[in-house]
Amino acid sequence: MSSRTGLSVVEVGLLRAVELLAGDEIARCSDVLVAAAATDGLGPRYTWPVLVDLGVPWRRHLPLVELLGNAGSIVGDPAADAQYVEVRLSRVGALALAAERGETGPVPLGLVEGSWYADGPVPPFDPERVVGALLAAGADVGLPAMPSGGVVSGDLEGLLAGRAVRLRLSCRIVAVGGDLVITETPMGVAGDEVLQRIAERATDHVRDAHGLPLRSIRRKGSPVVDVEDLTTMRDGVRLVVRLDDGADLRAAKEWLLDVWPVTVERDARLPAPMPELLDRWDRGDGTGLRALADLLTPDVPPTSPLT
């Protein structure tokens, strides 16, 4: 991992290839992968998923590239082939490369993104909390925050103290009318599979004398009548779970949270207690940290509807 950004050699190589080929314009992803292979030796079949992860907002809080075309979806659709997708550096990606070249100070991308996005043990945290803590020499970055949303629970105190823990990651579920709606899924959990497994868990079978299934019926105890995917790229995840009329919403939510992967478990461990990580992070002259803070601040202040 680079001490200046927390990025891996492969990730930095891909960013350099994007910068080289795209410049101020855009480049075809397949060309970027070929160019990156010339330096890191990894073929496109290995590096295409890495490039996609660098660009999709449900894997990273701060995408380092902008992907133009079908980069997949949060509900589990795969990205198109690399030849059909174009790419350019995002502003954070350009800042990361500047930090790598020593043109600006280190940027705490590793502290923000962790390594969960690559199935590593370190969870991600809210970028504004991390940058704020580093700017103020504070020790509190809050609780893990997944870019995809969802709820993290478990021994969070132990995690922040640097102990190995097992966390529970759950979908965010809200009540709408008499139904339940899943509006966020944990990182790495595809909405498609969430719906599929809810339907499977809610289904039982009438079987003949030999045990062969005759027809599907609702499983005893299941409150679910139907499931529907109303997710869009614009509005995000919206998985509607329709319930019996008058169903106990609290009990139904508990039932839903017991379905895998509405709730999943994940091992987590920070490389050191969080206060120590923040304290020992090398900020250099502080220019990279301040530049990242500027990027996190909206360019245009919100205007009052009355003005």
Would you give the binding string for other proteins spanning residues 146-185, x where CB under 8 A is met?
Answer: --------------------x-------------------
Tokens in use for 62?
């701060």
CB burial string 80-103: b at 16+ within 10 A, e below:
eebeebbbbbbebbbbbbbbbeee
Of 201, 238, 242, 290, the residue at the interface with other proteins (CB under 8 A) is: 201
Q: Is 182 exposed, middle or buried (0-12, 13-18, 19+ CB in 10 A)?
A: buried
Q: Return the range that interacts with other proteins (CB under 8 A); candidates 87-95, 126-134, 177-185, 198-206.
A: 198-206
Closer CB to other proteins, 15 or 169, in the complex: 169
What distance in Å separates the CA atoms of residue 4 and residue 17, rounded to the nearest whole number?
19
Nearer to other proteins, 211 or 305 (CB): 211
Count of positions on this chain that bind other proteins (CB under 8 A): 16
What is the DSSP secondary-structure string of 252-291?
HHHHHHTSTTTEEEEEE--SS-HHHHHHH---TTSHHHHH
How many Å apart are CA 40 and CA 7, to the nearest integer? 14
Residues in region 230-269 near other proteins by CB under 8 A: 258-261, 265
197 binds other proteins (CB under 8 A): yes
Instruction: Mark residue 28 as left, alpha or beta (left: phi above 0; alpha: psi -120 to 50; beta: remaining).
Output: beta
Footprint of other proteins on residues 264-303 (CB under 8 A)? 265
Question: Which listed range, 18-26, 181-189, 195-203, 246-254, lies at the site for other proteins (CB under 8 A)?
Answer: 195-203
Cα–Cα dist 161/144, whole Å: 13
In the bound state with other proteins, the residue whose beta carbon lies nearer, of 214 and 233, is 214
Among 8, 30, 39, 196, binds other proteins (CB under 8 A): 196
Nearest CB to other proteins, comparing residues 68 and 257: 257
Beta carbon nearer to other proteins, 48 or 116: 116
From the list 299, 290, 297, the residue with the least C-alpha distance to 98 is 290
161 CB neighbour count, 10 Å cutoff? 15
221 forms part of the interface with other proteins (CB under 8 A):
no
Would you state the structure tokens that stand for residue 58, as one six-digit string? 């449900």
The angle that helices 9-22 and 29-40 make with each other, rounded to 10 degrees, is 130
Among 213, 217, 272, 294, binds other proteins (CB under 8 A): 213
- Closest approach of Cβ 119 to other proteins, in Å? 14
The answer to whether 226 contacts other proteins (rule: CB under 8 A) is: no
What residue ranges bind other proteins (CB under 8 A)? 166, 193, 196-198, 200-201, 203, 205, 211, 213, 258-261, 265
